[in-house]
Amino acid sequence: MFKQFFVALFAGLAFFLVAVGSAQAATSIGFGYDLARQLDKNQDDGQVNLATQVSVGRRSALILGLASGERYEVLEFAFKRYNEQYLSGSFFQLGADYWYGDRKKGAKSKLGLDLRLGYELPVTRHLVFSGAISALYGPNNFNTDKSSELILRPHLGVMFHF
């Protein structure tokens, strides 16, 4: 039931982002995947992470992400601002996360605040690679299980946009 709820919520929010973004001129919609979160076993034993990005204006975007790991399901909503041009160059991102923890595995559900700094490099017309570091505050540390610790996480992603 929980997974069906998240799928419906993700689809509804993605539809909302597409509808809102379509009102802008030169809208770009992107779908991304974070490779580092999948490979880094320190992040909840590896998380599958999918994200949808919709341009808002000339140098900004709204992002909706969904991640799934061993102990946590994560819903992310963020605002991204590019320092140079859209989908090219350095950026900062500020977002809020809801970490739904599996109580059977000792995880607690919590809200988190995520600040990300990174760089995006367009490889082809529709393919963009990105690298970033994020500071996450809110959920328990994955390794020490202590709350109120700042968690630094790497991100290495690929995004297809059109």
Residue 25 confidence (pLDDT) = 44
Nearest to 122 by CA among 154, 94, 84: 84
CATH T-level topology, domain 2-161: Porin (2.40.160)
pLDDT for 94: 97
Mean pLDDT for 143-151 is 77
Residue range 112-130, pLDDT digits in tens: 999 999 999 999 999 999 9
Q: What pLDDT is stored for residue 81 in this prediction?
A: 96
* Cα gap 135→68, rounded to integer Å: 19
Q: 1-42 pLDDT, tens per residue?
A: 456 655 565 666 556 655 554 444 467 899 999 988 888 777
In the chain, where the domains are located: 2-161
